[in-house]
């Protein structure tokens, strides 16, 4: 039995003469494994499918106009919304009911816009979700049902037919002296509310090449994807065409199986690269700073002149039993001026990291609004090695 196990020893496994040699062998291999794992996780990698998609494999938007009925007095006012009245009359006429001479005063109907997204390769008979939004002055779509509504694409062709019960998350409650609203009661969803009636022709089997389209175009990322594909296939089948597109020709082993090629390519892991960028939202004061943002040595001082004026008027009353005295309002004004004397000049060294930059700006005791101005001033001084994108 012992000899049998000795014969099964791998070729690289040495023969140990002592316990010390065995311990050293195991220790060295553990260190090597730790180094390999740390080297593999030094840079964050992503799958190709997370940073790019395939040209032609895309969704399409659909839109339609319809009527929601069955509302409990929360629909459009037909006297003010003529489109709803005309749509209601036209619908009744299609059923052979002539109400042109009648006076319609119902408030249980609302005109709505229906939107949906047609997934790639959606087949006839499959169902898709809908979003229903009020078009008139309806107060709520709660409890309403959408009548049959054709959904058209950008080419004007009908691709799906919608109908179903509208699900509304918001609500409105009203009393004699107060009204409360939660969420948006004039918009809702219909899960699986549309049936696909027309397919979009796209034959993958006849393709001789596929194009990988990057979500965020970048030269470095495109070349890394191309290199990863070539290394996986073992041939020069991929080439970056531009920052946003990588062309992958169909290798011999994937003839007639484009799906297999797409599956293998999208599972490859690469390290995406993006230019250093600072994104600023002026409306909300949100600042997003990329990890690669660097600045040169710069001195920053921030101080605002603040003038606080407080009015505390006082009432002066005449003495009791005095003749001819009147009540007077005497103004009392307190003015305080803060010139920012406690704000000091801070130096931010060259080549600092994102964390050091944020810590340095926070040390000045400034808020997001002032930080936006400081970042823009640093960029204007030529000390910020990054692009500033203002939303």
pLDDT digits (tens, 9 = 90+) for 292-324: 777 777 776 666 545 455 657 777 777 776 666
E strands within 36-91?
Answer: 46-47, 52-54, 60-69
237 and 302 inside one domain: no
225 shares a domain with 181: no
> Is the pLDDT score of 158 beyond 60?
yes
State whether 188 and 214 are in the same domain: no
Helices (H) and strands (E) in the chain, counts: 8, 25
Tell me which residue of 109, 136, 133, 148 sits closest to 189, measured CA to CA.
133
Look at residue 144 and tell me if it is in a domain.
Answer: yes
Q: Which residue, among 354, 358, 377, has the nearest Cα to 366 in the 3D structure?
A: 358
User: Does a structural domain hold residue 11?
Assistant: no
* Domain assignment present for 299: yes
Range ranked top by mean pLDDT from 238-247, 334-343, 378-387: 238-247
34-38, 87-91, 344-348, range with greatest mean pLDDT = 87-91
> Which residues are CB-neighbours of 374 under 8 A, at least 6 positions away?
300, 302, 361, 366
Say if residue 266 is in the same domain as residue 283.
Answer: no
CA distances (Å), origin 109, targets 88, 94, 209, 231, 361:
8, 17, 52, 62, 56
Residues 223 and 262 in one domain: yes
Q: Are residues 132 and 234 in the same domain?
A: no
91: pLDDT strictly greater than 70 = yes
300 & 381 share domain:
yes
Its domain, for residue 143, covers 62-196
| End-of-domain residue from the set 196, 218, 245 | 196
Contact 115, 130 (CB under 8 A): yes
Same domain membership, residue 104 and residue 160: yes
More confident residue, 174 or 376: 376
Q: Considering the domain boundaries, does residue 1 fall inside one?
A: no
Residue with more model confidence, 261 or 103: 261
- The percent of residues above 90 in pLDDT, for the chain, comes to 34
166 and 130, same structural domain? yes
The pLDDT score that the predictor gives to residue 58 is 86
Regarding whether 263 and 167 lie in a shared domain, the answer is no
Nearest to 111 by CA among 90, 142, 95, 132: 132
How many whole angstroms separate alpha carbon 288 and alpha carbon 272? 18
CB atoms within 10 A of CB 209: 13
Evaluate whether 354 touches 289 at the Cβ level (below 8 Å).
Answer: yes
For 336, the 3-state DSSP assignment is: strand
Q: Is residue 34 part of a domain?
A: no
Shared domain for 304 and 350, answered yes or no, is yes
Residue 391: what pLDDT? 76
Q: What is the pTM of this model?
A: 0.64
Question: DSSP state, 318?
Answer: P
Query: Looking at 166, 196, 226, which one is the last position of a domain?
Result: 196
10 Å CB burial of residue 226 (0-12, 13-18, 19+) is buried
Tell me if 333 sits within 8 A of 310, measured CB to CB. yes
Split at pLDDT 50, 70, 90, the class of 325 is low
Check whether residue 172 and residue 232 sit in a common domain. Answer: no
Between CA 339 and CA 307 the distance in angstroms is 8
On whether residue 202 sits in a domain, the answer given is no
Query: In this predicted structure, what is the pLDDT of residue 226?
Result: 94
Q: Using the 8-state DSSP alphabet, how is residue 254 labeled?
A: G
Domain count, the chain: 3
Q: Is residue 22 part of a domain?
A: no
Length of the chain: 391
- Looking at the DSSP bridge assignments, the partners of residue 289 are 278
Q: Where are the beta strands (DSSP E) in 228-297?
A: 238-242, 245-249, 269-270, 277-281, 286-289, 294-295
Q: Are 375 and 277 in contact (CB under 8 A)?
A: no
Taking the alpha carbons of 133, 136, 137, 139 in that order, is the dihedral positive or negative?
Answer: negative
Question: Which residue from 102, 70, 198, 91 is spatially nearest to 149, judged by alpha carbons?
Answer: 91
The answer to the question of residue 37 being in a domain is: no
The confidence score (pLDDT) of residue 252 equals: 85
DSSP secondary structure letter of residue 167: B
Cβ-contact 193, 233 below 8 angstroms: no
- pLDDT tens digits, one per residue of 194-244: 999 999 888 777 888 899 999 999 999 999 999 999 999 998 999 999 999
User: Among 62-76, 210-224, 307-321, 344-358, where is mean pLDDT lowest?
Assistant: 344-358
């Amino acid at each position: 039995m012992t000899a049998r196990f000795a014969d099964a020893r791998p070729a690289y496994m040495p023969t140990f003469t002592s316990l010390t040699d065995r311990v050293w062998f195991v220790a060295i291999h553990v260190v090597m494994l730790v180094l390999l794992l740390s080297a593999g996780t030094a840079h964050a990698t992503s799958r190709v499918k997370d940073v790019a998609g395939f040209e032609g494999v895309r969704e399409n938007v659909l839109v339609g106009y319809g009527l929601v009925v069955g509302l409990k007095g929360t629909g459009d006012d037909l006297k003010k919304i003529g489109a709803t009245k005309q749509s209601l009359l036209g619908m009744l006429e299609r059923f052979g009911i002539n109400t042109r001479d009648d006076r319609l005063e119902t408030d249980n109907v609302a005109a709505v816009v229906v939107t949906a997204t047609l997934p790639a390769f959606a087949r006839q008979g499959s169902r898709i979700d809908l979003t229903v939004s009020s078009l008139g002055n309806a107060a709520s779509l709660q409890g309403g049902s959408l009548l049959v509504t054709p959904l058209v694409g950008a080419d004007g062709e009908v691709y799906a037919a919608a109908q179903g019960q509208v699900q509304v998350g918001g609500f409105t409650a009203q009393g004699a002296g107060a009204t409360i609203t939660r969420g948006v009661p004039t918009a809702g969803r219909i899960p699986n509310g549309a049936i696909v009636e027309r397919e979009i022709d796209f034959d993958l089997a006849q393709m001789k090449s596929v194009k990988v389209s990057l979500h965020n175009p970048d030269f470095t990322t495109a070349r890394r994807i191309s290199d990863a594909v070539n290394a996986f296939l073992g041939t020069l089948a991929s080439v970056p065409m531009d920052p946003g597109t990588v062309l992958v020709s169909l290798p011999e082993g994937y003839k007639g199986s484009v799906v297999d090629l797409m599956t293998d390519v999208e599972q490859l892991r690469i390290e995406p690269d993006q230019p250093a960028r600072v994104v600023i939202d002026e409306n909300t004061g949100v600042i997003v700073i990329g990890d690669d943002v660097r600045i040169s040595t710069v001195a920053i001082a921030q101080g605002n002149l603040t003038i606080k004026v407080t009015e505390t008027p006082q009432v002066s009353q005449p003495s009791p039993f005095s003749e001819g005295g009147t009540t007077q309002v005497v103004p009392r004004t307190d003015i305080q001026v803060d010139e920012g004397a406690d704000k000091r000049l801070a130096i931010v060294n060259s080549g600092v990291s994102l964390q050091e930059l944020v810590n340095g700006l926070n040390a000045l005791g400034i808020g997001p609004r002032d930080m936006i101005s400081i970042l823009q001033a640093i960029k204007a001084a030529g000390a910020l090695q990054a692009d500033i994108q203002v939303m």
